[in-house]
Structure 1
Amino acid sequence: MNTIVIPYEPQPRQQLYHQAVDIDELLFGGAAGGGKSESTIWDALSYGLEYEGSRQIIFRRTFPDLQRSIINRTLQVYPKAVAKYNQSKHEWTLINGSVIELAYWDNDSNYMNYQGAEYDVIRWEELTQFEEKWYTYMLSRLRGAKPYPRSVKSTTNPGGVGHAWVKRRFIDIGEWELVHTVNEVDDDGNHLIYPPGTPNAGEPILRNRIFIPSKVTDNIALMQNDPGYIARLMSLPDNERKQLLDGDWDTFAGQYFAEFSRALHVVEPFDIPSDWKRYRAMDEGYNDPFVCLWVALDPNGTAYVYREFVKSKLLTSEQVEMVRLNSGAEEYEYSVADTSFWNRAKTENVTPAEIFASQNVPLVQAKKERVNGWKRLREWLHPVDTLDHVTGQRYKHVNLKIFSTCLKAIESIPSMVHDDKMVEDVAAHPLDHVPDALRYWCMSRPQAVTTKAWSAIPDRRKEVPFDFEEDDFKEPTQSGWGRW
């Protein structure tokens, strides 16, 4: 019998990845240079050889990425004695009948490719480049008649369009390198249970997840062969260096609102005083979620997002009902809303805005300037050095704060990324509906007045026009607000 030599010697972190068994979902990585792709291709080959007739798939976001990182590498290192590559199908067939597909997923139309598919292992390379709905859909393709261990095994760096959901699913669930049993939830956060007629009827649906971190310093072979790699990572801009060298999940390259900080912007709930001005901001949607944010403004000009409602598949009548229910007896200066609330229905000559008005929730149209709107929101988020006149201590103050109960806002704002083609704009993102609503509110108000501005005009502090009417509003000029 001929002996087949596998030209792969895993590093210690890679060993942890390969040895993880009986785990439903695994994420490996965090920083650049940790040997993530190498781990994927050898883990796939090992599984395929061990489980005869098994089927796996490895995803990248685009075909060029797939070609460079997976196809070319497997062609270089997979032993031809045990594996044969079909170039037209982009798949490897092993001598025992096992198959490893190499694929890419770059848009929603890819759902059609996998409607009847079955896989024993699904592997995602650079998971944060994918949307959560694609990932969760493929969980339904993890099935088969053979009693093989089935799992989803992914690798990634921080950053990208999927940063928020990957962080929520793997990073924030608890201590790293430990297996966590997680109760699956629906879109509204309700725990899922097995339905009647199934073997585990009435029991919670649980999945095991683990995150195994990896850094370039864990890759001993790379450190020896390319000692200058760390120096090149060190020379990157701050956010990119934190992401790629340290595997930092709180900041990442391309992050639009890099100034967002939980320590500064998130506060514990408190009773809003009755004399504070209150507002509502809404983003329209059906398949995309309908969003309503409740914002309060204190006498000194600090805004608080104190309540949120985010839900899909609601008719306009249901949307206004939920707004009224969550608003109670509160009174509002106005409710600013996406201009799509004024689009007329095809079947009836009525707009969502008219339906809201008929239920005593009148709306005013938002100013939809995207770039100016994001700049305005950034002004409200921007930390300012402030002097405490009682203690003499300096501290960071922000003019927009969010109650800790507003989980969607806290998740979505730091998840926004720059648009590749128009860097001053925010790229389309599955979570951008809450920031959109907040942008509408910011565009309906003057820019946040900083502490430095207060000190510059101490004798006019009471006249800062936070409460002027919409008709009086003027855009700021270099010399200050037009009304001063």
Structure 2
Amino acid sequence: MTQTVVIPYKPQPRQQVYHQTNDIDELLYGGAAGGGKSEATIWDALKYAMQYKGSRQIIFRRTFPDLQRSIIARTIVAFPKELGKYNQSKHEWVFVNGSVIELAYFDSDMHKANYAGAEYDVIRWEEVTHFEEGWYTFMLSRLRGSTPYPRYIKSTTNPGSVGHAWVKKRFIDIGEWEKVHHIHETNDEGELLYHPDTGEPIISRRIFIPAKVQDNPALLEADPNYIVRLMQLSEQERKQLLDGDWDTFAGQYFSEFSRSLHVVEPFDIPKTWKRFRALDEGYTDPFICLWIALAPDGTAYLYRELAKTKLLTSEQVGLVRLNSPVTEEYEYNVADTSFWNQSKTEKITPAEIFAQKGVSLIQAKKERVNGWKRLREWLHPYDAIDHVTGNVYKATKLKIFSTCIKAIEAIPSMVHDDKKVEDVAAHPLDHIPDALRYWCMSRATDTKATEAWSADPDQLSDRRRDFESDDDEDEPFKVQGFW
């Protein structure tokens, strides 16, 4: 006699979409708090385990305490014991049909070694923005096996945390939400990838399925005040957790960054403007060179960028020179102090190699907190007066050409360090902000300009009156019950 096992789960409408979307390579679900992300994950995993005998899946959280609270504890309570057993020492579910679901955490590059020979049919990341992109892309190579089962990655998250930028770029910015997009993959240098045998483009099918607390009526029925508590959060946290806003998030370091304010279209920079270069050393990490021009009114323009990995020092200086027109002259080139580290095998520093090739460097001041404060000063919006019309508008002392796409991605991606909140947390994209910090610390604090560009309303009113009275004044601001 066949035993019937009832699955105690009824998916909400958005979870249903998540469960039914399987003809993909990568899926992201969520975007706000209360969308039923973890419930969707565990029941989707159980359904797959029962549907495909002998299959293997893994569910990741960033830390073991998070894994214990949100996944281990919930599956022990929720999964029918007739279907499988939880192995506490291995942190995995083994089911009656031979399928396995591993529950794991991943919080270091060292954890890659744990999965060097692993094979999975489905990989699931809970709160994927808590992970680094390199960990995610490494596990793509573990998505393999000899069975003809569908293989994919399904992730859930809220906006924010250290992986916000790469997740946003990979899923949010690719186009219309809730639609499968066919993405031609690229390498680290942005070059399109093609199959080595067939020459066909390497394509990934990706989709973002948004869900908010309003899409989870079961939660709101059980706890009608939950949405009220979300509304009482700070503006930034409310936008992130209630609205699922991907343009701002809690923990963001340079929250003042705005594309509309800081990004400008390229223009021909006058020859009379002072120019500078800022460099950050790297090989596995990218080597960075930034070109910055300073206008007479004190506004700085990041007008060119270079970010490339696996370059020898001679190749670095060669690319700097190649990207620096002979018509440009530079006041100085400020660089990370690591350029002065002498090789163990060669008695010469990178700085000396640069100098031999005609690019003399000066050492950067490496104060982190002060440096970030200085960079924030350059990014901070202030009220200014148009000296032609007399209208008040928002301005900033640092502008970025729209062609500097890596800088535009990196700056708003920086997050506060949990242990030292005034500092920026280590981040895969922090190399360009580091170089900008070096340049900012090389400049004297322009208190006179700051005073002239005052945000004081009374002073602005006075200036408008002055303008109106003097036209010549020039003022510089996701068995039975499976759905």
Which category describes the TM-score, using the shorter chain as reference length?
over 0.9
State how far apart, in whole Å, the 1-side matches of 2:4 and 2:453 are: 80
Q: Does 1:228 align with 2:229?
A: no
Q: Which residue of 1 aligns with 2:264?
A: 267
Contact 1:30-1:157 within 8 A present in 2 as well: yes
Identify the range of structure 1 (23-32 vs 228-237) with the bigger mean alpha-carbon deviation. 228-237
Structure 1: 5+ residue runs without aligned partners? 465-484
Q: Does 1:49 align with 2:50?
A: yes
* Matched AA of 1:249: W
Determine which structure has greater relative contact order: mean sequence separation of CA pairs < 8 Å that are 6+ residues apart, divided by chain length.
2
Contact 2:185-2:203 within 8 A present in 1 as well: yes
Q: Which residue of 2 aligns with 1:478?
A: none
Within a 5 Å distance, the mapping from 1:383-422 to structure 2 comes to: 383-422=381-420
Q: Which residue of 1 aligns with 2:317?
A: 320
* Matched AA of 1:240: E
Within a 5 Å distance, the mapping from 1:355-394 to structure 2 comes to: 355-394=353-392
Within a 5 Å distance, the mapping from 1:51-66 to structure 2 comes to: 51-66=52-67
* Matched AA of 1:127: V
Deviation at 1:451, TM superposition (A): 6.2
Cα 1:279–1:140 shift into 2, 3 Å: same
Using structure 2 for the length normalisation, give the TM-score: 0.93
**Overall identity of the aligned pairs, in %:** 72
CA RMSD of aligned residues (A): 1.6
Cα 1:161–1:430 shift into 2, 3 Å: same
1:424 to 422, 425, 448: 422
Deviation at 1:22, TM superposition (A): 1.1
Structure 2: 5+ residue runs without aligned partners? 464-472, 477-483
* Matched AA of 1:74: T
* Matched AA of 1:187: D
State how far apart, in whole Å, the 1-side matches of 2:426 and 2:450 are: 34
Q: Which residue of 2 aligns with 1:89?
A: 90
Contact 1:379-1:448 within 8 A present in 2 as well: no
Deviating runs (4+, > 6 A) in structure 1?
Answer: 455-458
1:213 to 187, 210, 213: 210
Q: Which residue of 2 aligns with 1:472?
A: none
Contact 2:383-2:453 within 8 A present in 1 as well: no
Q: Which residue of 2 aligns with 1:242?
A: 239
Identify the range of structure 1 (443-452 vs 261-270) with the bigger mean alpha-carbon deviation. 443-452
State how far apart, in whole Å, the 2-side matches of 1:390 and 1:327 are: 35
Q: Which residue of 2 aligns with 1:343?
A: 341
Deviation at 1:389, TM superposition (A): 3.2
> Alignment partner of 2:323: what SS?
helix
* Matched AA of 1:9: K
Q: Which residue of 1 aligns with 2:33?
A: 32
State how far apart, in whole Å, the 1-side matches of 2:72 and 2:117 are: 24
State how far apart, in whole Å, the 1-side matches of 2:100 and 2:85 are: 10
State how far apart, in whole Å, the 2-side matches of 1:307 and 1:46 are: 51
> Alignment partner of 2:201: what SS?
coil
Provide Cα deviations, 1:31-83, integer angstroms capped at 9, x if missing partner.
00100000000000000100111100000000000000000000001000111
Q: Does 1:301 align with 2:298?
A: yes
Deviation at 1:455, TM superposition (A): 6.3
Cα 1:452–1:434 shift into 2, 3 Å: closer
Provide Cα deviations, 1:326-372, integer angstroms capped at 9, x if missing partner.
01211100000001101111101100000000000000000111111
* Matched AA of 2:225: G
State how far apart, in whole Å, the 1-side matches of 2:231 and 2:273 are: 48
Cα 1:351–1:62 shift into 2, 3 Å: same
Q: Which residue of 2 aligns with 1:480?
A: none
Q: Which residue of 1 aligns with 2:480?
A: none
Deviation at 1:167, TM superposition (A): 0.3
Q: Which residue of 2 aligns with 1:189?
A: 190
State how far apart, in whole Å, the 2-side matches of 1:455 and 1:298 are: 15
Deviation at 1:390, TM superposition (A): 2.4
> Alignment partner of 1:327: what SS?
coil
1:282 to 258, 279, 282: 279
State how far apart, in whole Å, the 2-side matches of 1:389 and 1:328 are: 33
Using structure 1 for the length normalisation, give the TM-score: 0.92
Q: Which residue of 1 aligns with 2:78?
A: 77
Contact 2:230-2:241 within 8 A present in 1 as well: yes
Q: Which residue of 1 aligns with 2:19?
A: 18
Q: Which residue of 1 aligns with 2:466?
A: none
Q: Which residue of 2 aligns with 1:135?
A: 136
State how far apart, in whole Å, the 2-side matches of 1:234 and 1:160 are: 20
Provide Cα deviations, 1:439-468, integer angstroms capped at 9, x if missing partner.
00000112355866226899xx99x9xxxx
Contact 2:302-2:400 within 8 A present in 1 as well: yes
